[in-house]
Amino acid sequence: MSQIRDEVLAANDRYASGFDKGDLPMPPARRFAISLVISYKLLGTREWFVVHHTDCGMETFTDEVMRGLLASSLKTATVDASGWHDSGEGPGSTEGNYIDWLTIKDNAQSVVEDVRRIRNHPLVPAEIPIYGYIYDVRSGRLVEVPGATEAGRGR
């Protein structure tokens, strides 16, 4: 393990030991997401982490479901035990048929695939290690996905 990885995991252990947010609702109540781009070229990062999380909304639907909902209407859908339902009146749009919504069937496999894709990208320097984890929203812990970390080893 590297020093940075050891520090990240130690900080996560400290964070998770007092974690009390394991029962947050899904979907997120604040209804926003943050996308981060780690920059080797401009910021000099030397190790990268791919982190998915448990209870991810991307696991709750398929491309076909999303396309059907969008074709029905553009209003916000609802979900219950039987699945997703359109809650608005049309018109909808079939433009969603041309988008790969990047849904997730298996969270750990998805982490492996993301790490592998990043590792093999021509703009990623070979010496940068890429680690794969799943953040457990109930415990606050980072859980390593060994296959992802193996796929992301620097060369």
Instruction: Provide the CA 93 distance to its chain's centre, in angstroms.
Output: 26
pLDDT score for 88: 80
For 15-44, the pLDDT digits (tens) are 889 888 777 665 555 443 337 344 666 767
Other Cβ atoms less than 10 A from the Cβ of 61: the count is 19
CA atoms of 111 and 130, how far apart (whole Å): 11
Q: Among residues 97, 95, 65, 96, which one has the least CA distance to residue 79? A: 65
149 and 109, same structural domain? Answer: yes
Q: What is the CATH number of the domain that holds 109?
A: 3.40.1050.10
In this structure, are 12 and 24 located in the same domain? yes
Question: Tell me, what's the pLDDT at 103?
Answer: 93
Domain span including residue 51: 1-59+104-155
Which helix (H) or strand (E) segment holds residue 83: the answer is: strand 83-85
Please write the tens of the pLDDT for every residue from 93-140.
Answer: 999 999 999 999 999 999 999 999 999 998 888 988 899 999 999 999
